[in-house]
Amino acid sequence: MKVLRISFFLILSTLSLCVTLVHGQGTSPVIAGDFADPSIIKAGGAYYAVGTSSEWAPHFPIYRSTDLKAWTQTGYVFDKLPGWTSGSFWAPEYFFHNNTYYLYYTARRKSDNVSCIGVATSKYPDKDFKDQGIVVAYGKEAIDGFVFKENSELFITFKAYGLDNHPIELLGSKLSADGLKMEGEVFSLLKDDERIGMEGQSLLKRDGVYYLFYSAGNCCGAECSYNVNVAKANNIKGPYEKRGGTPLLQEDDFWKCSGHGTFVNAADDTFYYLYHAYNKRSNVFTGRQGMLASLTWNSNNAWPSLTPIAQPEKTPDAFYDSFNGTTLAVGWQRDFRNASVKAKQQQGKLFLSGEVKATNPSGVALAVRPASDVFEMETTVVNSNAALKGLVFYGDANAAIGVGVVNDKVELWMVRENKRVVLGTATIRANLPVKIKFATYADRTCKAFYKQQTGDWTEISASALTTISYLPPWDRSPRAGLHFSGPVSLDAQFDEFVIRY
């Protein structure tokens, strides 16, 4: 029996524990925090995973691991927008061909806001990617590219949105030998005749049969319904027969909306599936997190099964930044659509400023992906001026909450539905550093604190309930971090930052 991975193989020799356990109780993700639509590759004795970044820059975070259990972020695919794009950076997919790493990805086309599939190439899996432009522009929108090799030919599959009264389809096309453009006619793999949603596909070939794994349902947000299904065919172009019955991956007591993954091949010819799911407790506040499942085959009819792998539950590691060195730590991101962010490090301090759009009442956010919905973050504001300088929990430009220092006051503020209100203030001594703290709680409320020099924290009394329930956008988690709001001639200066869980 031979199984051909129609993409890029990953050797998983180190992952031998817990492959038959049901995931849920006592389970942690393999990559915590908002890391949707993951793709994975093995290169140079290490493993690299890349995920969706949506409306945050830099674009497409890359993680590295030597054992597939402990992952460290190493960088991003793009620091700047590729010239043809405007946003919505989704569903990156690794592929290796002609001694080159390809990264196929979805983004909106700047000229008309239509989602297309582009590609970038590099000689490395985690740096120096150069955009090569659009590969798939199909109708009103095309997303979720997945590339595979059949003999000497390359193919790309993708989802075409069900607009203008057409059902959603999973489509395919031959690619040019260099992998940079489509050739020939587009063919249909599956149609979403039931109109429940269909996307996030990947392919395996086993004993001459093609298995098309795909996600069905609503991908994102609190009302998501994602699950993983499979269909098979004797020809790569179909027709594909759907597997009936229970989905391969579905909701359990602890995780929900599993979907959009790709396979990796272990040294013992066992396949594993890297995918995303929402934690049912933290839900949309931590986004779709990176999970792992093992693949087995039913000997009676050759239909596969996926078994989530249990990871020991643990408290996420704190993120700490002392702002030493000359470059930002790799975990920081910015909302590139609503503000131009200026950030630099010098002598152990971070200098933050920027210019925001007129439609942005929330200011500049430089933030990290939280690994839990319950956390505390702290910083010290070391300069005094008329700009607001502090901490923010940021969903989007029209949904944020934070605490900051402005002149001789500390201010707790909220932006909701594009309206900014001040919830509470406290008077401080001017021209002295101010420590501020922002904490979230499991009941979806938050509190803010401050202190100067030594002593206990003082809570800022709020005039209204400080809820955070409104923050998450539909397709990503809120970010937590540093904040600036004021004239571009001013800045915020910070001494250290920490977020702990």
pLDDT by residue (tens digit) across 141-174?
A: 999 999 999 999 999 999 998 777 778 999 999 9
Clarify whether residues 32 and 57 are in a common domain. Answer: yes
* Largest separation between any pair of C-alpha atoms in the chain: 76
pLDDT in tens, 456-492: 999 999 988 899 999 999 999 999 999 999 999 999 9
Which residue bears the tokens 């990871």?
Answer: 311
Q: Which two tokens stand for residue 294?
A: 């093992």
Domain assignment present for 366: yes
What is the chain's mean pLDDT, rounded?
Answer: 92
Residue 110, Cα to own-chain centre: how many angstroms?
21
pLDDT in tens, 275-321: 999 999 999 999 999 999 999 998 766 799 999 998 888 999 999 99
DSSP annotation string for 141-163: -EEEEEEEEETTEEEEEEEE---
Measure the CA–CA gap between 58 and 501, rounded to whole angstroms: 24
DSSP annotation string for 30-45: SB-SS--S-EEEEETT
Sign of CA dihedral 42, 227, 22, 443: positive
Question: Roughly how many angstroms between the first and final C-alpha of the chain, as a whole number?
Answer: 47
CA dihedral of residues 282, 52, 158, 307 (deg, nearest 10): -50
Measure the CA–CA gap between 400 and 451, rounded to whole angstroms: 23
| Residue 406 CB contacts under 8 Å (≥ 6 apart), including other chains | 386, 387, 388, 389
What's the rounded mean pLDDT across residues 415-442?
96
Clarify whether residues 363 and 268 are in a common domain. Answer: no
Asked if 144 and 158 touch (Cβ cutoff 8 Å), the reply is: yes
Measure the CA–CA gap between 113 and 118, rounded to whole angstroms: 14
In this structure, what are the phi and psi dihedrals at residue 57, rounded to the nearest 5 degrees?
A: -120, 155
Q: What is residue 14's predicted lDDT score, i.e. its pLDDT?
A: 34
Measure the CA–CA gap between 147 and 177, rounded to whole angstroms: 12
Q: Which two tokens stand for residue 148?
A: 């595979």
Clarify whether residues 379 and 450 are in a common domain. Answer: yes
| Residue 121 CB contacts under 8 Å (≥ 6 apart), including other chains | 100, 101, 102, 103, 129, 130, 132
pLDDT in tens, 87-129: 999 999 999 999 999 999 999 999 999 999 999 999 999 999 9
pLDDT above 50 for 7? no
Clarify whether residues 286 and 335 are in a common domain. Answer: no
**Per-residue three-class SS string for 376-428:** EEEEEECCCCCCEEEEEEEEECCEEEEEEEECCEEEEEEEECCEEEEEEEEEC
- The CATH number of residue 425's host domain is 2.60.120.200
Domain assignment present for 276: yes
Q: What is residue 379's predicted lDDT score, i.e. its pLDDT?
A: 98
Measure the CA–CA gap between 274 and 9, rounded to whole angstroms: 12
pLDDT above 50 for 5? no
Distances, alpha carbon 112 to alpha carbons 35, 80, 83, 87, 357, in Å: 27, 20, 13, 12, 21
Sign of CA dihedral 147, 149, 154, 155: negative
Clarify whether residues 215 and 326 are in a common domain. Answer: no
pLDDT above 50 for 336? yes
Q: Which two tokens stand for residue 408?
A: 């001789």
Measuring CA to CA, which residue among 443, 440, 436 is closest to residue 501? Answer: 440
Distances, alpha carbon 216 to alpha carbons 50, 144, 187, 225, 263, in Å: 22, 13, 20, 8, 17
Length of the chain, in residues: 501
| Residue 152 CB contacts under 8 Å (≥ 6 apart), including other chains | none
3-state secondary structure of 10: coil
pLDDT above 60 for 428? yes
Domain assignment present for 185: yes
Domain assignment present for 314: no
Measure the CA–CA gap between 391 and 367, rounded to whole angstroms: 9
pLDDT above 50 for 382? yes
Q: What is residue 17's predicted lDDT score, i.e. its pLDDT?
A: 30
Domain assignment present for 313: no
Domain stop point among 274, 308, 342: 308
Asked if 200 and 217 touch (Cβ cutoff 8 Å), the reply is: no
Q: What is residue 26's predicted lDDT score, i.e. its pLDDT?
A: 52
pLDDT above 60 for 445? yes
Asked if 415 and 356 touch (Cβ cutoff 8 Å), the reply is: no
Q: What is residue 105's predicted lDDT score, i.e. its pLDDT?
A: 99
Clarify whether residues 328 and 302 are in a common domain. Answer: no
Clarify whether residues 432 and 291 are in a common domain. Answer: no
Clarify whether residues 374 and 303 are in a common domain. Answer: no
Measure the CA–CA gap between 297 and 485, rounded to whole angstroms: 56
Domain stop point among 279, 308, 337: 308
- The CATH number of residue 54's host domain is 2.115.10.20
Q: What is residue 301's predicted lDDT score, i.e. its pLDDT?
A: 67
Clarify whether residues 228 and 364 are in a common domain. Answer: no
Q: What is residue 267's predicted lDDT score, i.e. its pLDDT?
A: 66
In this structure, what are the phi and psi dihedrals at residue 284, rounded to the nearest 5 degrees?
A: -70, -10
Q: What is residue 24's predicted lDDT score, i.e. its pLDDT?
A: 39
Clarify whether residues 231 and 324 are in a common domain. Answer: no
Share of the chain above pLDDT 70, in %: 94
Domain stop point among 280, 308, 336: 308
Clarify whether residues 363 and 474 are in a common domain. Answer: yes
What's the rounded mean pLDDT across residues 361-381?
98
Distances, alpha carbon 124 to alpha carbons 1, 68, 265, 274, 407, in Å: 33, 19, 20, 21, 48
pLDDT above 80 for 331? yes
Domain count, the chain: 2
> Residue 395: which domain range?
319-500
Gyration radius of the chain's alpha carbons: 23
Q: pTM of this prediction? A: 0.93
Clarify whether residues 304 and 362 are in a common domain. Answer: no
Q: What is residue 22's predicted lDDT score, i.e. its pLDDT?
A: 34
Distances, alpha carbon 405 to alpha carbons 33, 326, 398, in Å: 29, 25, 21
How would residue 66 be classed by pLDDT, with cut points 50, 70 and 90? confident
3-state secondary structure of 283: helix
